[in-house]
Amino acid sequence: MTVARTGSIWGATMLRRRMLVSLEINNRDRAYDWFLGWMAHRASSGTASRAAPWIRSHELSVETMIERRANGSSSVFFQLVAGPGTHWFKYKGAWMQVKRERETRSMMGGQQPGMSVPWETVMLTTLSRDRALFPQLLAEARDLGMQGQEGKLVIHTAWGIEWRPFGKPRRKRPLQSVVLEPGMGEKIEQDIKAFLARRQWYADRGIPYRRGYLLHGPPGSGKTSFIQALAGSLSYDICLLNLSERGLADDKLNHLLSNAPERSFVLIEDVDAAFNKRIQTSADGYQSSVTFSGFLNALDGVASGEERIIFMTTNHVEQLDPALIRPGRVDFSALIDNASPLQARTLFQRFYGEGSNVELNPDELDVLAQNLEDIVEEKLGREQRVSMAALQGHFIRNQPKDAVASSLDLFTGILKKEP
Ligand SMILES: Nc1ncnc2c1ncn2[C@@H]1O[C@H](COP(=O)(O)OP(=O)(O)OP(=O)(O)O)[C@@H](O)[C@H]1O
């Protein structure tokens, strides 16, 4: 009896091994969400029910999604995805079993509060002869998952030692909507394009293929907006790196910088703040353990053919250690300053010009724009200039005529508030 039992178990195992093939996808992989989304899409769009009227999904999980529309409104909807348990579906004539399992004892996501999630896996099983369907299915799931991202900007943040998309992909901001000093935007754009075209040149000379940019200047002058718009225009993603993040240590930082997703800029904001004090303390009193030398080493990284583009921003360039801004770490540095006369004029025209619902004929608009330019040019000293963000706020609050008439108050008012 025992021999027969063992024999039948062994036989069944052998048969399964010979006839079945399984594919494991875990939730560290991007394919995981794509696959669940794809299953949910098939179930809701009726593809699955036509192919398999009795698709078994007794256990469902809910995913809440927020859709933001171009006009600013948004709506919340729910997607029912296959929950933990066993499900069946038919794909291109082949039956597939899906087993979703959750491991609650260990969590992923590191020590970041509220960000850890249980490990999960999805095991797809089908007949050996249908194994070629796996790549097709995954490619379909990927295309569906990426659909919403086309033409959008994806922001990644660090999750433990890996990068994960943060929130829904955002609408790209047109590059021209960020008004910088004439020629400045173009200069940075040309530099990065030239860099991207010289991969082979770097490889031939054994130079690490990376470039660092530092945009410095007062708050609200458009540094972040410009970097995001530039990434969008080049179809790059942004990896937002917070050096004072809880749990970030030198080794993790090194790993993150060496493993940023392809076609992405690493953006480190307020880089001066991270090393002002020897040990950085975050709002909840947690001490980040990234050291200055660890950061420098991570920036240098191991020489590799991998492309790496880092953008850093700061309001206090004078406080940066010269070691940080030496060529190789920062190859291009630019001052993005408060609104110059021409910038104020251009922002005004963009704001109230074509497409805005303000009724002004082009001549009137020109005269007002000229007045504003003159005020910034003649009535104010350089140090009295205000940020583009302050001007933007002023334009939002006022009609064009009032905006120009009260602009001097804005400029001097802001000045008075400053010590
Ligand atoms: N040059 C500009 N052109 C158009 N809009 C601008 C410009 N500068 C700032 N703004 C507007 O001001 C707001 C803040 O800008 P942003 O965050 O890019 O500034 P920043 O220089 O990165 O500031 P900080 O140094 O405080 O991070 C945004 O809403 C942006 O639209």
Query: For residue range 40-60, what is the model confidence (pLDDT) as tens digits?
Result: 887 766 554 444 433 455 566
Residue 152 lies in a domain: no
Q: Does residue 257 belong to any structural domain of this protein?
A: yes
Is residue 156, in this structure, part of any structural domain at all?
A: no
Structural domain including 274 reads 170-335
Same-domain pairing of 99 and 185 = no
Ligand 1 mean position to 391 CA, how many Å? 10
Of 310, 335, 360, the domain-final residue: 335
Residues 24 and 94 reside in one and the same domain: yes
- Note whether 330 and 345 are same-domain residues: no
In sequence order, the β-bridge partners of residue 211 are 309
Same domain, yes or no: 186 and 292: yes
Q: CB under 6 Å to ligand 1: residues? A: 178-180, 219-225, 313, 315, 347, 388-389, 392
DSSP 187-255: HHHHHHHHHHTTHHHHHHHT---EEEEEEE-STTSSHHHHHHHHHHHTT-EEEEE-TT-TT-BHHHHHH
- Report how far ligand 1's centroid is from the alpha carbon of 336 (Å): 10
Q: Whose CA is nearest to atom 28 of ligand 1?
A: 389
Q: How many domains does the chain have?
A: 3
Instruction: Verify that 77 and 185 share a domain, yes or no.
Output: no
Q: Does a structural domain hold residue 163? A: no
Same structural domain, 132 and 182: no
Mean of the per-residue pLDDT values of the chain? 80
161 lies in some domain: no
Do 348 and 329 share a domain, yes or no?
Answer: no
In this prediction, the answer to ipTM > 0.95 reads yes
Specify the amino acid at residue 207.
I
**Do 285 and 398 belong to one domain?**
no
Interval between CA 242 and ligand 1 midpoint (Å): 19
Whose Cα sits closest to atom 24 in ligand 1?
Answer: 219
End-to-end, the C-alpha distance of the chain in Å comes to: 93
Same domain, 192 and 68: no
Question: pTM for this structure?
Answer: 0.74
* Residue ending a domain, choose from 335, 363, 383: 335
Tens digits of residue pLDDT in 21-45: 889 998 878 788 888 888 888 776 6
Please, which residues bridge with residue 77 across strands? 65
End-of-domain residue from the set 274, 300, 335: 335
The answer to whether residue 86 scores a pLDDT higher than 60 is: yes
